[in-house]
């Protein structure tokens, strides 16, 4: 048999196999992070995820309303800047970038939202008045 012909058949087999591998992987859905909030904590079930679409499923197990704000920042969890006009809330644009939030999660309720997150460091914060200062913050990383 001709070696060129065998090489061509071998290359075709490799390309077909690679094509099947790529199509079987297909587009992946969002990564899901479950977050439990209560008085006074934010507890994600993961502290890092791959870049891309991330769905945060928030379960408020507390007795009062909470929210989840996703802030992209290199600041430490205890170093977020407070609003000048309302020092009981984090300034979501000073040293951080608000990339999304899930608001008004009633006591005992659950809500979810999906955000497209770039690689970097983030903070998950409840920015209801006084909640951040009471410890409702968690560090989070997107790789």
**Domain containing residue 48: CATH number:** 2.60.40.420
Residue 8 maps to a domain: no
Q: List CB contacts of 119: < 8 A, sequence separation 6 or more.
A: 51, 142, 143
Q: pLDDT digit of tens for each residue in the chain (143 aa)?
A: 555 544 444 444 444 444 444 444 545 789 999 999 999 999 999 999 999 999 999 999 999 999 999 999 999 999 999 999 999 999 999 999 999 999 999 999 999 999 999 999 999 999 999 999 999 999 999 99
What is the extent of the structural domain holding 138? 31-142
Residue 20 maps to a domain: no
pTM: 0.80
pLDDT score recorded for residue 24 = 43
Residue 93 maps to a domain: yes
The residues facing 34 across adjacent strands are: 57
Count of structural domains within the chain: 1
Residue 6 maps to a domain: no
Residue 26 maps to a domain: no
Q: Which has the closest alpha carbon to 78: 2, 18, 132?
A: 132
């Amino acid at each position: 048999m001709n070696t060129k012909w065998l090489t061509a058949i071998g290359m075709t087999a490799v390309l077909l196999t690679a094509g099947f591998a790529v199509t079987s992987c297909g587009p992946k859905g969002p990564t899901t992070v479950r977050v439990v909030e209560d008085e006074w904590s934010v507890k994600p079930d993961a502290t890092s995820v791959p870049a891309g679409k991330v769905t945060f499923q928030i379960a408020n197990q507390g007795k009062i309303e909470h929210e989840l704000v996703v802030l992209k920042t290199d600041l430490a969890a205890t170093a977020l800047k407070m609003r000048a006009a309302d020092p009981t809330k984090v300034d979501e644009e000073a040293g951080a970038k608000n990339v999304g939030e899930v608001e008004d999660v009633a006591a005992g309720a659950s809500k979810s939202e999906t955000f497209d997150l770039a690689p970097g460091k983030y903070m998950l914060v409840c920015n209801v008045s006084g909640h951040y200062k009471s410890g409702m913050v968690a560090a989070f990383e997107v790789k």
